[in-house]
Chains A and B, each alone.
Chain A
């Protein structure tokens, strides 16, 4: 199954990336390019909408780590509504330090933080 990826940048400088389908080693470079473009801004915050992401392999997680290192500690990364198995893999493998989980996305809340 393929990955579909859309990026939006708000007027406040929040980059939102919506991931749908399967994120694996084969299509992780596509995700990485999207993050590189976002990092170049740089954004105020990065929001990953994951509700429709059915599978994320370690390569996908590593791209998030790459993004975190590229954008530095000041840019917070939010993972919104990941499936439970994706969330648990992120947590147990220690990647949760790089991001913040949200159950739902509220742009105004992020602007305030």
Chain B
């Protein structure tokens, strides 16, 4: 028994030994000696009761009202003695006004989840049908913070060195063809680390892993009979708890250990772990949604409310978290610090981040305190912060997101321009010249480097890369929303036939267009992001919004397939090429001038004639040369690289610029060439016969490298 006098009970309420608690930190904290400190905020509640359950039981074993002297300010704090750390689940009942018009929705019949709960039961086995009659669906549990990390620490790779792989934990290994022991789990992901390493990515960005309810709005699709779920998880239930159902050991309450083991294994293999975090809304929805946590604890603090008490909906998901209320800011900051310190997370991608810059009434702020605070926070000091710099409320901030010298952005303009250019639209050459340079037109004037541009052509929202060239239109009927959901402006092209086809010419063209896109992505300055499975031609059969499908529409099919293997090999070699060439990866902006006396500008622009780029409105041709001597200080000299995009549908002859003296052009990639001559291992590039001219097939990409003759 601990003899510290501050760890002895002073009160007995409802038969339980308790003591006045510590207001901070919020949440449930196990103290030395095993007692538990419970602390919860509510500004407008009139009273609070701690409700204690044995694991999974419907009826609580104790309800302990907080004595008046246990509240300090707006915080209820209590130490409870003699609890079983593994078997206890807890929640709160709040008393207070139920006056929605005034913004208050207190209801003492509800048992509420602690917003700071570090482990959450109730959905700890994936897809196990919940007992909907249970009044306490999402159950706070006590967490153990004793994981043995050994010498692990976040990798802190420079942003410009990253190749991000956006992935869904379950989708990656749920398919039987994955052949793992623990399919669809954190542990299953660990089994596939060798694949990711061989592919050449060094950062995984996990789609939401905060506890969510896969059964939120679940329904049976009438035509197929398929159960539709909240599968992607962009709807947070608890911000401090890993999704237990993604852990093979979730049923034993060991999801945190399994998750940490996964992070440690990624780090051991040189791969960073970034989380896609959703702070813009919660799983509680609008006026008709359930009271899970925030709504019942202090609705007016946690949500943006319209006159009449209605929820402002900038997220498109029913409610909007009141991110710039100082209490809510504190929650976001505490949450991210916890994941960075306790889970060794390397970075965060903020879903609909522009919402984080809105004031409590929804107006965009010029100097948003939350975004500034995250940028300067000491604990998050070396974490990557990446904004999805827009929101469904119409705020679009690509290039203008308040960055404070720190924030990177999903570059939506890169995606949009690249898609149009790649399918052969005219008028894109000028913009593409900016995009392949790391979008200096968006970022340079503000002093933001090239690497903060996270370049992508596809992401979880929208078509996969293969579908981008197989479908003109979205095919979302399986989502059960009459094809009304999902984006309509996909900038896709079906190559002449909507959907799958046996036509070998169309199939070959699609393969080539996918390679063109990968080549563009991996030679562009900025930080490339690859969508899970695009390197294996993953298809969603034209569905561009597969948020609700726990099936092959989302799962990565690992089966051997000639076309998939072909794309994978191409992607793998492009990534090896990027790794081998520091001129592709610099975080600096080009000067379009010779600053080292090499006789060549760092980047020069060409067309079908060397040194004469065609910037005209009808042009579909862009070529550029990167001088190998223009590497960053401290970086070894590189080879000179020439890249040509013929996005016209016709064959065109290209005059090549001369390579640096003493070198000859060698071919790294030509997407029009038949496999396996479409790309080469870095170092094994064959010399080009004619050093002055080359013909490029329509819709193809050529990448040359100057090597000593």
Which residues of A does B touch, CB under 8 Å?
A: 24-26, 57-59, 61-62, 65-66, 68-69, 88-89, 92-95, 97-98
Contact = CB atoms under 8 A, between A and B. Distances in A.
A92 B86 contact: no
Nearest to B150: A97
Interface stretch (B128-136, B168-176, B256-264, B419-427): B256-264
B84 interface: yes
B148 A98 contact: yes
Contact of B254 (A93, A97, A98): A93
A30 to B, nearest CB: 14
Interface in B293-328: none
Contact of A95 (B85, B182, B257, B264): B257
Nearest to B88: A25
A93 B258 contact: yes
B264 A94 contact: yes
Contacts of A59: 85-86
Interface string B51-87: 0000000000000000000000000000000001111
B651 interface: no
B267 to A, nearest CB: 12
A29 to B, nearest CB: 9
Interface of B: 84-87, 144, 146-148, 150, 182, 185, 187, 247-249, 252-254, 257-258, 260-261, 264
7 contacts: A24-B86, A26-B84, A58-B253, A62-B144, A62-B146, A88-B248, A92-B261
B254 A89 contact: yes
A59 B86 CA distance: 7
B148 A97 contact: yes
B248 to A, nearest CB: 5
Given A25-B87, A94-B258, A89 B252 contact: yes
Given A93-B257, A93-B261, A58 B147 contact: no
B81 to A, nearest CB: 15
A92 B249 contact: yes
A62 B185 CA distance: 22
A65 B249 contact: no
A95 B150 CA distance: 12
Given A93-B261, A94-B264, A95-B257, A57 B148 contact: no
Report whether over half of chain A's contact residues are helix, strand or loop; otherwise say mixed.
helix
Contacts of B182: 92
Given A24-B86, A25-B87, A69 B148 contact: yes
Contacts of B185: 92
A58 B244 CA distance: 14
Given A25-B86, A93-B254, A93-B261, 19 more contacts: A24-B87, A26-B84, A57-B252, A57-B253, A58-B86, A58-B252, A58-B253, A58-B254, A59-B85, A59-B86, A62-B146, A65-B148, A88-B248, A89-B249, A92-B187, A92-B258, A94-B257, A94-B261, A95-B257
B85 A92 contact: no
A59 B247 CA distance: 18
Nearest to B185: A92
Nearest to B254: A93
A57 B258 CA distance: 14
The residue among B84, B148, B150, B253 with the most chain A CB atoms within 10 A of its own CB is B148
A59 B87 CA distance: 10
Contacts of B147: 94
Contacts of A98: 148
**In the A-B complex, the 5 residue pairs with the closest CB atoms:** A94-B261, A93-B257, A25-B86, A92-B187, A93-B254
The residue among A24, A65, A94 with the most chain B CB atoms within 10 A of its own CB is A94
Contacts of A97: 148, 150
A78 B257 CA distance: 21
B87 A68 contact: no
A92 B248 contact: yes
A100 B372 CA distance: 48
Contacts of A66: 146
Contacts of B253: 57-58
A62 B145 CA distance: 10
Contacts of B247: 92
Contacts of A94: 147-148, 257-258, 260-261, 264
B679 to A, nearest CB: 38
A65 B144 CA distance: 12
A62 B252 CA distance: 13
A24 B252 CA distance: 11
Contacts of A24: 86-87
A57 B146 CA distance: 15
A92 B254 CA distance: 9
A58 B247 CA distance: 14
B189 to A, nearest CB: 11
Contacts of B264: 94
A101 B212 CA distance: 35
